[in-house]
Amino acid sequence: MITIHDIERARARIKDSVYLTPCAHSETFSKLTGNKVYFKLENLQMTGSFKERGALNKILTLTDEERKHGVIAASAGNHAQGVSYHATRNGIKAIIVMPTATPLVKVTRTREYGAEVVLHGSSYDEAFDEAWRRREAEGYTFIHAFDDDTVMAGQGTIGLELIEQNPYLDAVIVPVGGGGLISGIAVAMKETNPRIQIIGVQTARLPSMKRALAEHAPFLLPPAGTIADGIAVRKAGARTLPVVEKYVDDIVTVDEEEIANAILQLVEREKTVAEGAGAVSLAALVQGKTKLHGKKVALLVGGGNIDVNLLSRIIERGLVKDGRLVRFRVRIPDHPGALHRLTGRIAEVRANILEVFHNRAFSRVDLGETAVDVTLETRGMEHIDELVRVMDEDRYEHERLF
């Protein structure tokens, strides 16, 4: 099991090559949650994630023989980029095995950082098996994403920074996949101040660490999709589990809608881009999963490597949920000026028309009528109610599509 001395030595190794990320106070979320909230912004690292800390610590402990043979890792994203970036900077050959379905942007970035990328298998598990086979056949050093003491110690340097940046913290909320990050942070902080609460957060679709704690052994969960792909680990680590059992106070879960909402809140209120795995800490606090109130709380934003198309969909769904984006289907007479009259009434209540679609042939309306789908930008639910009143007053038949 790792010790705080392992983490202190890791910090001495990597401090000149990783960014000491800020731990910024958030007035907005402090008011919203009834706590004093701070964000530890690991999404600001060079590769956009905390993962490079552990990867670098492992790389800097390699022997000359291991450096000569090179390193190999399996990853679908952040770990891949961390290994690629720091191995290349240290003149070490790196091979990263990634699932074939890995988003192109992550594959491209990993290659840009200097690694050779091998696409293999339909899942992380198949990519992992291929990387392990190559490691045994070709003599590479395998750099595990989480189940490695040296990697855990590297991630634990975040805990040392948190203590220095805010020595009076009551709790830290940490994303959990395989357990490498929370293990390192928990050792660093609990060994310094045992009263600090360490709370982990997993996606409800893959609560591998929570299940491992219940079973007292790593347990393989069935595959499941999640927008928090950075913590989508089906089986907790054998080396991380004992650390979590000893030091971590609680593991809670959040669902997909709660994660998506947290991503949107970070963008809109904090001007911070986080991936799904990076936003789960906020999701847990905002949704009351941690039962914290009146505490000084640090939330770890573990990474910001989110696909822009996914971010766009999350923003759009969030606007719909808040009532700031709405679509109505309205029946109007099919004659000149009818559409002009409808749009004029919409303009009177200051709603912004984003899209209009006429549907004559495929809607169940009478001959001489047409259905118009109109997408509107509004100020919220009260504004939508005002729109409904206007259409009712003018006796338009209408339905809200979303």
pLDDT of 103 strictly over 80: no
In the numeric block, which tokens belong to residue 158? 């975040």
What is the model's pLDDT at position 124? 81
Check residue 398 and give left, alpha or beta (phi > 0: left; psi -120 to 50: alpha): beta
- Give the H or E element holding residue 251: strand 250-254
* Domain identity same for 169 and 305: yes
**Backbone dihedral angles phi then psi of residue 295, each to the nearest 5 degrees:** -110, 160
* Domain identity same for 45 and 98: no
Last residue of a domain, one of 261, 287, 317: 317
Instruction: Indicate the pLDDT class of residue 66, thresholds 50, 70 and 90.
Output: very high
* Domain identity same for 137 and 30: no
What is the model's pLDDT at position 322? 84
Q: State the average pLDDT over residues 124-128.
A: 86
Last residue of a domain, one of 142, 173, 193: 142
What is the model's pLDDT at position 77? 84
Contact 41, 22 (CB under 8 A): yes
Weakest-pLDDT range from 6-20, 176-190, 294-308, 367-381: 367-381
Is the CA virtual torsion 268, 269, 270, 276 positive or negative? negative
Instruction: Indicate the pLDDT class of residue 122, thresholds 50, 70 and 90.
Output: confident
pTM over 0.95: no
* Domain identity same for 201 and 133: no
Going from the C-alpha of 181 to that of each of 86, 214, 230, 314, 345, the distances in angstroms are 18, 20, 12, 26, 55
Q: State the average pLDDT over residues 283-291.
A: 96
**93: CATH:** 3.40.50.1100
Q: State the average pLDDT over residues 171-196.
A: 97
Q: Which one has a higher pLDDT value, 187 or 308?
A: 187
Beta strand segments in 160-226, E:
171-175, 197-203
Q: State the average pLDDT over residues 182-194.
A: 97
Last residue of a domain, one of 101, 118, 142: 142
Percent of the chain at pLDDT > 70 equals 99
How far apart are alpha carbons 344 and 327 in whole angstroms?
Answer: 17
Q: Which one has a higher pLDDT value, 76 or 401?
A: 401
Residue 338 three-state SS: helix
pLDDT of 333 strictly over 80: yes
pLDDT of 367 strictly over 80: no
**328: CATH:** 3.30.70.260
Domain of residue 188: give its range: 4-50+148-317
Average pLDDT across the chain, whole number? 94
Instruction: Indicate the pLDDT class of residue 65, thresholds 50, 70 and 90.
Output: very high
